[in-house]
Amino acid sequence: MGGTSKSRLTADAICSMIPAHVLHLAVSIKNLNELKIVLERLEHLSSARFFFDHTPCLSQFHEWFKTKKQGLSYRTERFSLHVWLENNSVQSNEVRVGNKRIKLADDHRDS
């Protein structure tokens, strides 16, 4: 496989790999349903950034958030959506799903 291949992980697989201490997530998704799965199952997240190859129906996303989630804000870009959740404000970890691998990065600093 070449270096430009996309991750073939499903939203369920990604959710099963993310520990509870991870608060920030950046992940590629295929559709709006995967975004919903990630946000419903990973309730401990403070923020999530979703990347996609096509523009999903953002009006449906907006309507879903009005009925399912409170205390959030989001910003849309052409091929990404960044969501901030008020449930947690500590910033320490990030998970990135790249084209070929998942990288878990702990950012623990001693004072």
pTM: 0.65
Asked if residue 103 lies in contact with residue 26, where contact means CB atoms within 8 angstroms, the answer is no
Task: Please spell the DSSP secondary structure of 67-96, one letter per residue.
Answer: HH--SEEEEEETTEEEEEETT-----EEEE
Q: How far apart are CA 101 and CA 58, in angstroms?
A: 27
Phi and psi at 19, nearest 5°, equal: -75, 160
pLDDT score recorded for residue 20: 87
CA 55 to chain centre: 16
Per residue in 24-71, pLDDT (tens digit) is: 999 988 888 888 888 888 888 999 998 888 766 667 777 777 776 667
Question: Which has the higher per-residue pLDDT, 105 or 89?
Answer: 105
